[in-house]
Amino acid sequence: MIRFITKRLLFAPLVLLVLITVTFFLVRLAPGNPFSAERAVSPETEAALMARYHLDRPVLVQYAYYVGGLVRGDLGPSLKHRERTVNEIVAHHLPFSVRLGTMALGVALLTGLTVGFLSALRPRTWLDYACTSVAVLGISLPVFVIGPLLQMLFSRTWQLFPVAGVGTWRHLVLPASALALPFAARFARLARAGFLEVLHEPFIRTARAKGLAERTVLIRHALRGGVLPVVSFLGPAVASITTGSLVVERIFGIPGLGREFVESALNRDYTMVMGTVIVYGALIVVCNLFTDLVYAWLDPRVRAG
């Protein structure tokens, strides 16, 4: 396990470097520059701004400047919010996105595992069909449809939760639910398949033949193997929740990092786009590593391999 963790930790910077390099050159392929849309900017002023941020240099020189700043932990100045750096903007907006994503992932895991577990215990019954139907509906509806529906029902009609904004935990209920529902549906389908497969394994029949209580069989023996498909999907799920939060933050007026990413892309704020991609990329790399460790802890065959 120590060798496995070391290899992943050594491989992570290389993955981030490839992501940084590809993103750096892609954003500069877009027509125009960050200052071409400025109002009443003379060519002399635009040239001075380009020189100030080293954008008048060759692309490879710009890349060297940027990577040198990253080595020092500097994400650079924002090209639109010139009085603030990218580090300051990320530090201010990232906590909102982390709270939203963490709450959504917790709701999705709790709901999906519960529904999948109950569905696997009663296969081909009305409970199984009802759970499967709800899961298919959750997968089919996109986030930009679920969000306004939740706002209309729970904010406009029943007035149970705030329609948008930030503040107390009540402000996160609707956006976290909208973000969690599609992933809860996927977790439910994966958990159902995993539990159905495990419940027919010989070691489950052996445990029951020894006279163990059904609850002991399910919790101590079946649960560990049944959640393996869900654990294997956690890495891609975190990535999807991260990118899906861009839409949810826009709908519910949450000042998270996703909104800044969209606005910076529209405004051609190169450094802000790069900073957001780096933060999200590092978060996904860490989550994938954590997922692999949990999977190896649950399945002895992975540790043996």
Q: What is the model's pLDDT at position 227?
A: 85
Instruction: Tell me how far apart the alpha carbons of residues 101 and 289 are, in angstroms, rounded to a whole number.
Output: 18
Mean pLDDT of 162-178: 87
Q: What is the pLDDT of residue 258?
A: 81
Residue 261 lies in a domain: yes
What CATH number should be reported for the domain holding residue 121? 1.10.3720.10
For 14, 166, 271, 277, the CA distances from 63, given in Å and listed in that order, are 16, 37, 11, 15
Task: Tell me the pLDDT band of 37, cut-offs 50, 70 and 90.
Answer: low
Q: Which residue has the higher pLDDT, 115 or 294?
A: 115
Residue 295 domain-assigned (yes or no): no
Give the model's confidence band at 21: pLDDT under 50 very low, under 70 low, under 90 confident, else very high: very high
Provide mean pLDDT across the span 236-263. Answer: 81
**Nearest Cα residue to 281 out of 257, 263, 297:** 257
In a domain? residue 65: no
| pLDDT of res. 165 | 82
Is 77 strand, coil or helix? Answer: strand
Q: How many CB atoms lie within 10 A of CB 17?
A: 12
Burial class (CB in 10 A: 0-12, 13-18, 19+), 222: buried
Q: In the structure, what pLDDT confidence band is assigned to residue 246 with cuts at 50, 70 and 90? A: confident
- Residue 165's domain comprises 98-267
Summary mean pLDDT of the chain: 84
232 Cβ partners below 8 Å, 6+ apart?
291, 295
Cβ neighbours for 299, distance < 8 A, ≥ 6 positions apart: 225, 228
- Determine, yes or no, domain membership for 183: yes
- Which pLDDT score, from 0 to 100, does residue 36 have? 66
Q: Which of 52-56, 162-166, 198-202 has the lowest mean pLDDT?
A: 52-56
The larger pLDDT score, comparing residue 34 to residue 226, is at 226
Q: Considering only 85-89, 175-179, 285-289, which range has the smallest mean pLDDT?
A: 285-289
**DSSP of 236-295, one letter per residue?**
HHHHHHHHHHHHHHHHHT---HHHHHHHHHHTT-HHHHHHHHHHHHHHHHHHHHHHHHHH
Give CA–CA dist 221/199, Å, rounded: 9
pTM above 0.75? yes
Q: Is residue 242 part of a domain?
A: yes
List pLDDT tens digits, range 267-280.
Answer: 888 889 899 889 88
Mean pLDDT of 6-12: 81
Please name the amino acid found at residue 34.
P
Report how far residue 108's alpha carbon sits from residue 102's, in angstroms, rounded to the nearest whole number: 10
Do the domain assignments include residue 129? yes
3-state secondary structure of 10: helix
What would the pLDDT profile of 76-108 be if each residue is shown by its tens digit?
Answer: 888 888 788 889 999 988 888 888 888 999 999
Residue 216 pLDDT > 60:
yes
Cβ pair 220, 179 in contact under 8 A: no
For residue 281, give the nearest of 242, 245, 225 by alpha carbon: 242
Q: How much is the pLDDT for 41?
A: 63
Question: Does any domain span residue 69?
Answer: no
Between the alpha carbon of residue 57 and those of residues 38, 60, 112, 176, 263, the distances in Å are 21, 8, 52, 44, 25
Domain count, the chain: 1
Predicted confidence band of residue 22 (pLDDT cuts 50, 70, 90): very high
Instruction: Report whether pLDDT(39) > 80.
Output: no
pLDDT of residue 283: 84
| Res. 175 pLDDT band, cuts 50 70 90 | very high
Mean pLDDT for the stretch of residues 128-154: 87
Higher per-residue confidence, 56 vs 192? 192
275 within domain boundaries: no
Burial class (CB in 10 A: 0-12, 13-18, 19+), 97: buried
